[in-house]
Amino acid sequence: MKELLKLLSCSLGADHNFRISIGAYSKYLPQFLSAHDRELLLGCFAGIDVNDIFDKEQNMLALFNTHAIKMATLLHFSYDKSLYRAVLRFIRDIKANHY
């Protein structure tokens, strides 16, 4: 989660020419996110149900992947998009075969 929040902070900073502050502990972060990203972020917090945890992890991966692609493009870094699919497959495999 910590890395996701850092990535979102950088992504929002880039969107606003680094003229915004998301506050201590990212408390203002949600107000700068699009409605879709805000819902995904809120959807990253899981309860105690194992299926819920796997679902929330997939939300977190999707949000991270979207903003990682954006920042990699902006900063001219390479980003292996197949890694997202591989991790997603791995998580789905664990869920299907172990829970």
Over residues 67-77, the pLDDT tens digits come to: 999 999 999 99
Q: Give buried/exposed letters for 20-36 (b at 16+ CB in 10 A, else e).
A: eebeeebeebeebbeee
User: What is the pLDDT at residue 51?
Assistant: 82
CB 60 within 8 A of CB 70: no
Q: What is the pLDDT of residues 3-50, one digit of tens each?
A: 999 999 999 999 999 999 999 888 999 999 999 999 889 888 887 888
Please tell me the pTM assigned to this model. 0.77
Gap between the Cα atoms of 43 and 39, Å rounded: 6
